[in-house]
Structure 1
Amino acid sequence: MNPDHISLHNKQFEPYLSAAQLTAAIREVAARINQDYAGQQVLFVVVLNGSFMFAADLLKEISLDCEICFIRVASYQGTSSTGEVKEVLGLTEEIQGRHAIILEDIVDTGHTMQMLLDTLGARQPASLEVATLFLKPECLQHELPLRYVGLSIPNDFIVGYGLDFDGLGRNYPDVYKAV
């Protein structure tokens, strides 16, 4: 499945990043995590829904002893952030004294990530880091400790590889941008 354009909710998208480019970026992030946490156990906190593909592919490359859990937050409606972050499904695992890495599909304004860092940081982990597949630096409104960034991208609206447009488009192995 690699169409030269897709249409979602009557909006057109063109190819932007291939599955091969995504795989290379993910392997690079995983190699850094494996090196930085060698000999340690890590809890990966996956932000649903968009991060499911990134998390699955990243964890296939992780050689550490690790656990995985899921949290769901929402801040998007249509093609833009609402600016309001709502926690939908909270973290039930104990993270106090543990090394935790938040896995996120995309950081743009940083509102969601700031809320997660504040919320999880209050639970006193031994360390708390962020691994994001995509970062939109020109959109960032918070100073965030983003230790692991797969790809920095411009402020384009993208879908595919877990990212959606009102629920559609997550299933594409490549990433497409709106035209």
Structure 2
Amino acid sequence: MYALRNTLVTREELQEAVKKLGAAISRDYAGQELVLVGILKGAAVFMADLMREISFPVAIDFMSVSSYGSSATTSGVITIKQDIDTDIRGKHVLLVEDLIDTGLTLQHLQQLFALREAASVRICTILSKPSRRIADIPIDYCGIEIPDEFVVGYGLDYAEQYRNLPEVWVVETGE
């Protein structure tokens, strides 16, 4: 059983973080060809908001990657369920994620895109749990660091529920 416990990050805090990330990305990639690659399903809400804050045209694509299944904890096994359609050879890629926990998924994807000869592969996340990090990966654009709590809302789910909440909530999972 599960229940929402408390709001961890407000809608206003999310909006402010997205504006800052968009401004930094706009500055850093000005005059370059950039492809935003959203990691489905969680990053969809964040990526929609983020791309509207970037001041130049960007290409977008999506991947579906799993390491959780229906559990609240990662299995550590990365499975690509849906790959991108875009040829990223010679292009700058920004991986857009909702939450970076262990970092294993992003480490795997960075290596994959480097093998595909991207000009660069950087990481952007709205939420980060540094206390859970296993993989030593650079997070180039980080919105908000959060404590080690299981959270939902703003694209994040628990058993495919709560993605539509406009703020980030802590969930009591009963696990």
- Measured against the shorter chain, the TM-score band is over 0.9
Query: Which position in structure 2 is the counterpart of 1:170?
Result: 163
User: 5+ unaligned residues in a row in structure 1: which ranges?
Assistant: 1-8
Partner of residue 68 from structure 1, selected from 33, 36, 60: 60
Map 1:85-96 onto structure 2 (within 5 A).
85-96=78-89
How many equivalent residue pairs?
171
Amino-acid identity (%): 34
The answer to whether the aligner puts 1:16 opposite 2:37 as a matched pair is no
Q: 3-state DSSP class of the match of 2:75?
A: strand
Q: 3-state DSSP class of the match of 1:80?
A: coil
The answer to whether the aligner puts 1:31 opposite 2:23 as a matched pair is yes
Distance 1:145 1:92 in 2: 25
**Are residues 10 and 146 of structure 1, via their aligned partners in 2, closer, same or farther at CA, if it must alter by over 3 Å?**
closer
- 1:46–1:52: 8 Å Cα contact kept in structure 2? yes
The answer to whether the aligner puts 1:113 opposite 2:102 as a matched pair is no
Q: CA deviation at 1:13?
A: 2.6
Matched to 1:16, the amino acid is L
- Deviation sequence 1:31-57 (CA, Å, 0-9, x none): 100000111121000100000010000
Query: Which position in structure 1 is the counterpart of 2:75?
Result: 82
* Stretch of structure 1 that moved more, 164-173 or 77-86: 77-86
TM-score (norm 2): 0.94
Distance 2:94 2:107 in 1: 14
- 1:19–1:173: 8 Å Cα contact kept in structure 2? yes
Query: Which position in structure 1 is the counterpart of 2:139?
Result: 146
Q: CA deviation at 1:178?
A: 2.3
- 2:153–2:164: 8 Å Cα contact kept in structure 1? yes
Matched to 1:125, the amino acid is A
- Deviation sequence 1:61-99 (CA, Å, 0-9, x none): 111221000100011132111111111001221111001
Runs of 4+ in structure 1 deviating by more than 6 angstroms, as ranges, are: none
Distance 1:14 1:178 in 2: 8
TM-score (norm 1): 0.92
Matched to 1:69, the amino acid is D
Partner of residue 33 from structure 2, selected from 26, 41, 46: 41
CA RMSD of aligned residues (A): 1.1
Q: 3-state DSSP class of the match of 1:112?
A: helix
**Are residues 141 and 57 of structure 1, via their aligned partners in 2, closer, same or farther at CA, if it must alter by over 3 Å?**
same
Q: 3-state DSSP class of the match of 2:58?
A: strand
The answer to whether the aligner puts 1:102 opposite 2:95 as a matched pair is yes
